[in-house]
Amino acid sequence: MPQPQPLIPLDTPQALGQAMRHARKQLGLTQPQLALAAGVGVRFIVDLEAGKPTLRLEHILRVLHALGGTLAIAGLPTTAESA
């Protein structure tokens, strides 16, 4: 069973873009290949990797899932803590 990957702290759109680009290259995918796998346009991948701050979260999640990743949020109170 593969080891879980460490969490990558992302605090800017640019950091997210760099992480996505790194993951794509590690998987040996081109931008057009990733766009096809994620169901988004190549321009979206280009903008995402460039750190454009106004992209749709729905499409970012598609790309993230196509790369085998998930989104986790840390530091927020959970339902049990706020009760």
pLDDT over 70 (residue 82): no
pTM: 0.85
pLDDT over 80 (residue 65): yes
* CATH number for position 52: 1.10.260.40
Question: Among 59, 64, 46, 56, which residue's Cα sits nearest to residue 10?
Answer: 64
Residue 19 lies in a domain: yes
Residue 68: predicted pLDDT: 94
Query: Domain total for the chain?
Result: 1
Question: Among 72, 32, 40, which residue's Cα sits nearest to residue 59?
Answer: 40
Residue 4: predicted pLDDT: 65
Amino acid identity of residue 79, one-letter, is T
Question: Among 7, 15, 21, 27, which residue's Cα sits nearest to residue 68?
Answer: 27
CA distance 54 to 17: 12
Residue 58 lies in a domain: yes
Question: Among 29, 83, 3, 6, which residue's Cα sits nearest to residue 63?
Answer: 29
Residues 1-59: pLDDT tens digits? 556 677 888 999 999 999 999 999 999 999 999 999 999 999 999 999 999 999 999 99
Residue 79 lies in a domain: no
Residue 39 domain boundaries: 13-73
